[in-house]
């Protein structure tokens, strides 16, 4: 049976490099994909993944298992880095949400759900997710794409589970509205 | 009635990206950093250990020396202790979980080190102090003890 994250962390903090490597290999994918889906940037996802695990080396002792799993702790660190990055980027390059919507609108499709090929549909959803405000984007990424439990998501986002549920519901509605809106817009052109 | 397509699309996106991972060079960089931090920690511990050993030796020598010259303390039953606050000896202090309290005797000049006033003519008078020693042997804090008649 493989060791739990918590046990690996304890060994890592005692200086066991193999434990760190095992923990990294087990969890880097989730952290990387979270950052990638939040930003759609491979470079940012790489930076964030590295920063998260450096922070684990630095502050792993701060992890408190009574407040959530180690994965939710890692998501929490990743989230802070991602939000800082999004904020910095939006200051340097003022946001143009319409650019993303224009991309969606420019897709040559009549019904994004039935008619698009699978790849195009996935790309469209990917763009639609990034066009959501960060507080909605992060719940979709965690709960729908990374399959995190509401409990883990709440621990990572430092908010009650009820908030996760309501944001997720709102986020899905926004996603649906964005996709349908574009379809209707094209249909009337 | 049309089925809500959003969950299916999200699932498809999750499946398409399920194999996305950080490039291997990040693991190599992190492992290098892990080893480098481990080495730094080891040297820091050695330095702390050496400082702690020197501090303990100093305290022992001071205690021995002043026991030779110190006047006898009043009988325990006739006095009670008044202690100062603890003053940190390490700044910044590493995390503290457990430790021991050692009663030592020092020259009153030691009180000046933590900012307590001592008249010049009493600088060499012996004073009692409690040294809080961490479980790694490092003196962390000190407080001074005064005996007052009951």
- Return residue ranges of chain A for CATH 1.10.10.10: 96-189
Contacts of A143 in chain B (CB under 8 A): none
C-alpha of A83 from chain center: 10
Q: Please, is A47 exposed, middle or buried when counting C-beta atoms within 10 Å of its C-beta (0-12, 13-18, 19+)?
A: middle
Interface list for A 49-88 with B (CB within 8 A):
49-50, 53-54, 57, 61
| Closest in B6, B26, B41 to A172, CB measured | B6
Are A21 and B4 an interchain contact pair (Cβ–Cβ within 8 Å)?
no
Task: Name the closest residue on chain A to residue B39, using Cα atoms.
Answer: A15
DSSP A69-95: -HHHHHHHHHHHHHHHHHHHHHHHS--
Angle ∠(A170,A171,A175) on CA atoms, nearest 5: 120
Q: Is the pLDDT of residue B73 over 70?
A: no
Query: CB contact, 8 Å: B146 with chain A?
Result: no
Give the Cα separation of A77 and A51 in Å (integer): 9
What ipTM did this prediction achieve? 0.77
In sequence order, what are the beta bridge partners of B105?
Answer: B128
Q: Quick one: pLDDT band at residue B81, thresholds 50, 70, 90?
A: confident
C-alpha of A36 from chain center: 7
Are B10 and A144 an interchain contact pair (Cβ–Cβ within 8 Å)?
yes
Q: A interface mutation test: which of B18, B19, B22 has the most A CBs within 10 A?
A: B22
- Return residue ranges of chain A for CATH 1.10.1740.10: 1-95
| pLDDT for position A171 | 94
What parts of chain A have a pLDDT lower than 70?
Answer: 1, 93-116, 181-189
Q: Is the pLDDT of residue B82 over 70?
A: yes
Which of A112-121, B1-10, B101-110 has the lowest average pLDDT?
A: A112-121
CATH number of A1-95: 1.10.1740.10
| Closest in B13, B29, B30 to A122, CB measured | B13
Give the Cα separation of B42 and B92 in Å (integer): 18
| pLDDT for position A95 | 47
Are B31 and A21 an interchain contact pair (Cβ–Cβ within 8 Å)?
yes
Helices (H) and strands (E) in chain B, counts: 3, 5
**Residue A74 or B43, more confident:** A74
What fold does the segment set A96-189 form as a domain?
A: Arc Repressor Mutant, subunit A (1.10.10)
Give the Cα separation of A105 and A186 in Å (integer): 7
- Nearest Cα to Cα of residue A7 among A85, A65, A50: A65
């Amino acid at each position: 049976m493989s060791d739990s994250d918590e046990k690996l962390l304890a060994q890592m903090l005692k200086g066991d490099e193999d434990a760190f490597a095992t923990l990294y290999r087990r969890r880097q994918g989730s952290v990387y994909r979270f950052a990638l889906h939040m930003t759609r940037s491979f470079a940012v996802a790489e930076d964030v993944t590295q920063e998260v695990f450096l922070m684990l080396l630095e502050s792993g002792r701060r992890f408190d298992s009574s407040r959530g799993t180690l994965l939710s702790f890692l998501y929490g660190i990743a989230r802070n880095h991602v939000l800082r990055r999004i904020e910095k980027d939006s200051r340097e390059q003022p946001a143009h949400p319409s650019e993303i919507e224009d991309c969606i609108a420019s897709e040559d499709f009549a019904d994004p759900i039935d008619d698009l090929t699978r790849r195009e549909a996935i790309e469209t959803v990917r763009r639609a997710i990034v066009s959501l405000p960060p507080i909605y984007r992060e719940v979709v990424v965690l709960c729908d794409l990374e399959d995190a439990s509401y409990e883990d998501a709440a621990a990572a986002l430092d908010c009650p589970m009820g908030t996760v549920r309501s944001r997720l519901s709102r986020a899905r509605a926004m996603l649906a509205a964005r996709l349908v809106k574009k379809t209707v817009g094209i249909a009337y052109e | 009635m049309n089925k809500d397509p959003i969950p299916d699309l999200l699932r498809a996106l999750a499946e398409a990206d399920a194999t996305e991972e950080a490039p291997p060079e990040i693991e190599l960089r992190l492992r290098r950093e892990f080893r480098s931090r481990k080495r730094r920690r080891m040297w820091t511990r050695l330095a702390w250990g050496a400082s702690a050993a020197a501090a303990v030796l100093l305290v022992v020598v001071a205690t021995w020396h002043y026991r030779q010259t110190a006047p006898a303390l009043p009988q325990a039953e006739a006095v009670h202790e008044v202690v100062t606050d603890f003053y940190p000896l390490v700044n910044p202090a590493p995390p503290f979980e457990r430790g021991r309290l050692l009663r030592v005797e020092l020259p009153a000049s030691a009180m000046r080190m933590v900012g307590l006033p001592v008249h010049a003519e009493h600088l060499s008078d012996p004073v009692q102090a409690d040294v809080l020693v961490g479980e790694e042997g490092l003196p962390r804090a000190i407080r001074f003890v005064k005996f007052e008649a009951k």
